[in-house]
Amino acid sequence: MSSASPGGRPPQTPPRTGGLPVPPSPPGRRHWLADLAWLPGQGVCRDVLIEADGDRFTSVIPQTPATPKTPPATERLRGLTLPGFANAHSHAFHRALRGITQADRGTFWTWRERMYEVAARLDPDSYLSLARAVYAEMALAGVSCVGEFHYLHHQPDGRPYADPNAMGRALVQAAAEAGLRMTLLDTCYLAGGLDQSGVLPLAGPQVRFSDGDGWRWAARAEALGPDERGMLSPHARAGAAIHSVRAVPPEHMHAVVAWASRRGDPVHIHMSEQRVENEACRAVYGVSPAQLLYDEDVLGPRTSVVHATHVGSADLELLGGSQVFACLCPTTERDLGDGLAPARPLAAAGCTLTLGSDSHAVIDILEEARGVEYAERLARRSRGHFTAEILLQAATSAGHTSLGWPDAGEIAPGAWADLVTVSLDSVRTAGAADALALEAAVFAASATDVRTVIISGRDVVRDGIHQLIPDVPAELSRTIRAALS
Ligand SMILES: [Zn+2]
């Protein structure tokens, strides 16, 4: 969700080198035999022998039942094996608000005030601890890569930390410690909002979000030190974000797009989540947010517009014609009463759908996936708008591509070695025929049915237990308490 107007560290924390984590050395050659696996272009296949060398798949062969010739130490994957999920839109610190904001009625805007209270309390150490626990929760839900839309840049009074990227580096470190890959979507956030009178000044907790202008934002983002491919670390790459048309006046957008374009980094932006944004944008700039972004050359095949809840037919034409990704966050959008994003018209116009858990009202990518279809059913009073396969593509290959990892999200030779198994014998999924395993997973399974998660060739979750952070609920409890106290 968008928000501009309208303890102690565990002992296993690895040392930092220049603020970035030192990843463990990659594993060697590994083999798995999946009872059922979803393969690109082939659907759900039986007895799939999967080989990886280090962090990439090297071969994928369906119809290969176990025989004496099966490579030794081949691990059996029960249930349905899927590629890793991409969570294309996250604000890690919003996880601290789960439950709290359900106790009273409120609106998007009162929710935002509570969110600012948490934002005001975090520092690099507490942010590292909290994000690490939240990313561990994501791993348990099958997420192999997260797009962190990051704007908590500076100290609460707006002064930079000694390292102006201390907060961003904490997030990169958190992802490494939780076993995920990430795209750090460093976010430009300059104004307190937009109303009929114009651009509003930053106020209160917002002052720590701003670098002053787009060029100074770019200078700080560059100091993160991306290499020529945009990589910040073997597990993390750089991306850029413009918070929204409410938080970034158009004259500053070019600096963000130019910075990202040098290396082909992704660019993400919240867009038209609330009608009031559209109204303010029209009042001040005379056009819709989509038209403003189009006019400022923000829209393109590396751009993700997040939410796109309130868009008209002219907007759809601009978005589809620009081949943007439309990142939908159904559990957040329904939690905040945003409205129903026009998923089918967006897809029909030429946008590629992706998914995010955004405010982390829940972290369950399967729930996000079916939420897209269910919203369409409610809006149109008819069924069957997106197949389970299309919804899973949004959750996997499309999401990874939108985050700048085009070679992830498929179980195929050369792709990142990410595997997620979904149990087919839980109370939610038992009884599903093999031929309908994909439908059972997308429309009935939940994050708790994720049993095994392999990310970049490494075991991160085994039998539902996180291998790097064994007691994730305790970590969430501890770090959220600290963030709220
Ligand atoms: Zn958001």
Q: Identify residue 427 by its one-letter amino acid code.
A: V
> How far, CA to CA in Å, does 380 sit from each of 221, 309, 338, 344, 345?
43, 15, 17, 10, 12
Q: How far is the CA of 229 from the centre of ligand 1 (A)?
A: 26
- Structural domains in the chain, CATH included, are 29-83+411-472 (2.30.40.10), 85-402 (3.20.20.140)
What is the model's pLDDT at position 344? 97
Active-site residue, from 150, 270, 307, 400:
307
265 annotated active-site: no
Q: How far is the CA of 2 from the centre of ligand 1 (A)?
A: 4
* 424 φ/ψ angles, rounded to the nearest 5 degrees: -110, 15
> How far, CA to CA in Å, does 185 sit from each of 37, 274, 295?
31, 22, 22
The 10s digit of each residue's pLDDT in 368-387 is 999 999 999 999 999 999 99
Query: Strands (DSSP E) along 197-340, which ranges?
Result: 198-200, 231-233, 236-242, 267-271, 303-307, 325-328
Query: Strands (DSSP E) along 83-189, which ranges?
Result: 85-90, 143-150, 181-188
> How far, CA to CA in Å, does 249 sit from each of 91, 120, 284, 300, 319?
22, 24, 10, 19, 20
Work out the number of other CB atoms within 10 angstroms of the CB of residue 117: 15
358 annotated active-site: yes
Q: Count Cβ atoms within 10 A of the Cβ of residue 446 and give its class: 0-12 exposed, 13-18 middle, 19 or more buried.
A: middle
- Comparing C-alpha atoms, which of 235, 94, 480 is closest to residue 472? 480
Q: How far is the CA of 303 from the centre of ligand 1 (A)?
A: 15
- Are 296 and 288 spatial neighbours (Cβ–Cβ below 8 Å)? no
* Strand, coil or helix: 351: coil
SS3 content of the chain, % helix, strand, coil (to 5): 35, 25, 40
What is the model's pLDDT at position 12? 37
Active-site residue, from 55, 186, 265, 358:
358
Is the pTM of the predicted complex or chain greater than 0.85?
yes
Cα–Cα distance for residue pair 406/399, rounded to 1 Å: 9
The 10s digit of each residue's pLDDT in 111-134 is 777 788 888 899 999 999 999 999
What is the model's pLDDT at position 330? 96
Q: Count Cβ atoms within 10 A of the Cβ of residue 429 and give its class: 0-12 exposed, 13-18 middle, 19 or more buried.
A: buried
Cα–Cα distance for residue pair 212/205, rounded to 1 Å: 15
Q: How far is the CA of 32 from the centre of ligand 1 (A)?
A: 36
* Strand, coil or helix: 196: coil
Q: How far is the CA of 51 from the centre of ligand 1 (A)?
A: 37
Q: Count Cβ atoms within 10 A of the Cβ of residue 382 and give its class: 0-12 exposed, 13-18 middle, 19 or more buried.
A: exposed
Which pairing describes strands 181-188 and 193-195: parallel, antiparallel, or unpaired? unpaired
Cα–Cα distance for residue pair 368/388, rounded to 1 Å: 12
Write out the chain's pLDDT in tens, 485 residues. 554 443 333 333 333 333 444 445 556 899 999 999 999 999 999 999 999 999 999 999 999 999 999 999 999 999 999 999 999 999 999 999 887 767 676 777 777 777 888 888 999 999 999 999 999 999 999 999 999 999 999 999 999 999 999 999 999 999 999 999 999 999 999 999 999 999 999 999 899 999 999 999 999 999 999 999 999 999 999 999 999 999 999 999 999 999 999 999 999 999 999 999 999 999 999 999 999 999 999 999 999 999 999 999 999 999 999 999 999 999 999 988 889 999 999 999 999 999 999 999 999 999 999 999 999 999 999 999 999 999 999 999 999 999 999 999 999 999 999 999 999 999 999 999 999 999 999 999 999 999 999 999 999 999 999 999 999 999 999 999 998 88
